[in-house]
Amino acid sequence: QAQLAESGGGLVQSGGSLRLSCRGSGFTLEYNTIGWFRQTPGKEREVVACISSSDSSTYYADSVKGRFTISRDNAKNTVYLQMNSLKPEDTAVYYCGAGGSGSYYSPSAYNYWGQGTQVTVSS
């Protein structure tokens, strides 16, 4: 059974850093485009970053460009999201998605999701 599990969230002060992990089980993340999304209460899930299956090319939302980095460790079947220079507006539940097809900037493209990890940035 394919599953994803996020970890690494927590409470951090503005300007701090966190590294989120998305670990896959039951399937190989290397062969999937992986997306990191975030969601706050009352808002839709929005894309933060993606890494492609074909050439590991990356995409970043404008709001995180230059501060966040998405990367893979295929040996650990894990995708990371390194988040630096965090701002209070980065506060959200962060999810990773895998599988599926279509526009990888949209949550509807993904078949598998983790349970999410809370990131809270205090000012």
Report CA dihedral (65, 66, 72, 76) to the nearest 10 degrees: -120
Helix (H) or strand (E) holding 92: strand 92-98
Give the pLDDT confidence of 50-72 residue by residue, as tens digits: 999 888 899 999 999 999 999 99
Residue with tokens 């990773």: 96
Q: How confident is the model at residue 103 (pLDDT cuts 50, 70, 90)?
A: confident
Say what the pLDDT of residue 63 is. Answer: 98
CA distance 104 to 97: 9
Those residues with Cβ within 8 angstroms of residue 99's Cβ, 6 or more apart along the chain or in another chain: 2, 27, 32, 110, 111, 112
For residue 28, pLDDT over 90 is answered with: yes
What pLDDT score was predicted for residue 100?
78
